[in-house]
Amino acid sequence: MKKINLVLLFITLVCSFFTIIGELDRGIVIILKDSSIILTATLPFIVNKFFKGKLNDGIIFVWLIFIFLAHYMGVTLEFYNKWEGFDKVVHTFSGVLTAYAGMLFLPKGGKTWFNILFIIAFSCLCAFAWETFEFVCNLLVGGDAQRVAETGVTDTMLDMIVAFIGSILFSIGYYVRRKN
């Protein structure tokens, strides 16, 4: 799994590098936006360096896939604007990612149904926190990342609902694995 994670990191960084090179004439804001993927993709490795390997390879794998989808494809390649359903796919995957992260907080041997409720609640809290973060950023710096002008609260609610669905899908897998 470590080798797969390094390959995913390499692919993400190479794709980002070529994107940055191709957009040098578009201005500093675009370059900074595209360069920020370097920090987000390497973040788990930085955390592991400073906290002596607290993140396991599974969470790093899911993180790298998420960053590639959400940051590189969604923001840098502008898939959020080019493909209407892309945002919902990414938010569903974020539900799976945060459910997996929530599972890591559980003590060994806990009751299955409590664990499932915790996993889903943790994932929903993360979705709520993200949407709140987007809302506050919109208030502070302008913009409309939540597409309020276009959809009212529909986009935000659908983002949270599909993250919830992602956490349920993860929880089903968790349940099956615990029972076997």
User: 118 with 180, same domain?
Assistant: yes
- The pTM for the full model equals 0.77
The per-residue pLDDT for range 37-48, each reduced to its tens digit, is 888 888 888 888
Residue 129 belongs to domain spanning: 84-180
User: 94 with 170, same domain?
Assistant: yes
Give the end of a domain, one of 51, 77, 103: 77
User: 59 with 104, same domain?
Assistant: no
User: 119 with 55, same domain?
Assistant: no
How many separate domains does the chain show? 2
3-state secondary structure the chain: CHHHHHHHHHHHHHHHHHHHHHCHHHCHHHHHHHHHHHHHHHHHHHHHHHCCCCCCHHHHHHHHHHHHHHHHHHHHCCHHHHCCCHHHHHHHHHHHHHHHHHHHCCCCCCCHHHHHHHHHHHHHHHHHHHHHHHHHHHHHHCCCCCCHHHHCCHHHHHHHHHHHHHHHHHHHHHHHHHHC
The per-residue pLDDT for range 88-124, each reduced to its tens digit, is 999 999 999 899 989 988 888 889 999 999 999 999 9
User: 66 with 128, same domain?
Assistant: no
